[in-house]
Amino acid sequence: MFQSGDVNMRLQGKTALITGSGRNIGRSISLTLASMGANVVINSKENVEAANETADEIRKLGAKALVVMGDIGSETDVSKMVNEIRMNVDYVDIVINNGSLRKVQEFTSMTYDHWKQMINTDLDSAFLMTQPFVAGMIEKGWGRVINLAGLNAIEGRSGWAHVSAAKMGLIGFTRSLSKELVPNGVTVNCISPGMIDTSRDDQSSPRPNDRTQGIPAGRMGTVEEISSLCAWLCSEHSDYVSGQTFHVNGGEKNY
């Protein structure tokens, strides 16, 4: 896990909201920011056990943790979560839109419901989870918004048209929102991970042997490599960095 004694890498007094943070990349980001002193709002759609375990680990690091359960792709659920957060937290200083949905669906058999579910979860959620807290960031003159996209946003993959559309939308959202917010001290950036070694085990992720041979680094990335980049983007060292997309893929693709 990322550690730093540099005062400019510390986040004491800050609160970070991280969607999809019960496990995998979101969990790693949560623990990394907590190790820097940030209090963390944990979100999971339905895995309350994983969310509570992450919250317990955060508290062991000396930070506060709040668990809010709900579907980030549901406007109704998000409204309830936002109300719960506002009841318990004065300001949200950092929003990291990490939660996502991964379902392979060939376009010829894709329904509009399939399409809407993906757009709601992977794109609309960034608006729903960010917009309520931006005014507070502007008021304080400091804030961070980080969106998690992915290699498919630019490359595309068969069966992932809905995913690619949503994730490319996140990149455009990042660029435009940055121009609006950075004059107020609020930076907005995007991280686009390549093949990352997580605990996810379903049909949406190619098996490691199918992908590592095409990665110049010769391996998959780690969740800590993503969370360390998040840590830097949340720190004062990145004050002049906004509107950017950072590709973390072991050299597999260059943009």
Does any domain span residue 211?
yes
CA distances from 56 to 43, 215, 252 (A): 14, 36, 36
Does any domain span residue 253?
no
Does any domain span residue 255?
no
pLDDT tens digits for range 163-189: 999 999 999 999 999 999 999 999 999
- Asked which of 91-95, 142-146, 182-186, 197-201 is least confident by mean pLDDT, the reply is 197-201
Q: Which is higher by pLDDT, 253 or 182?
A: 182
State yes or no: pLDDT of 196 exceeds 60. Answer: yes
Does any domain span residue 90?
yes
Does any domain span residue 13?
yes
Q: At what angle do helices 48-60 and 24-35 cross, to 10 degrees?
A: 20
3-class SS of residue 222: strand
Q: What's 219's domain CATH number?
A: 3.40.50.720
Q: What is the pLDDT of residue 102?
A: 82
Beta-carbon count within 10 A of 206 CB: 11
Instruction: Give residue 43's domain range.
Output: 7-248
3-class SS of residue 231: helix
Does any domain span residue 83?
yes
Residue from 188, 187, 44 nearest 126 by CA: 188
Cα separation of 76 and 93, whole Å?
23
Model confidence band, residue 203 (pLDDT cutoffs 50, 70, 90):
very low
Q: What is the pLDDT of residue 209?
A: 58
Mean pLDDT, residues 194-220: 72
- Asked which of 13-17, 124-128, 195-199 is least confident by mean pLDDT, the reply is 195-199
Mean pLDDT, residues 54-62: 97
CA distances from 137 to 37, 142, 152 (A): 18, 5, 31
Beta-carbon count within 10 A of 11 CB: 24
Does any domain span residue 51?
yes
Enter the pTM of the model: 0.92
Does any domain span residue 93?
yes
State yes or no: pLDDT of 207 exceeds 80. Answer: no
Domain count, the chain: 1
pLDDT tens digits for range 125-174: 999 999 999 999 999 999 999 999 998 888 888 999 999 999 999 999 99
Cα separation of 147 and 10, whole Å?
21
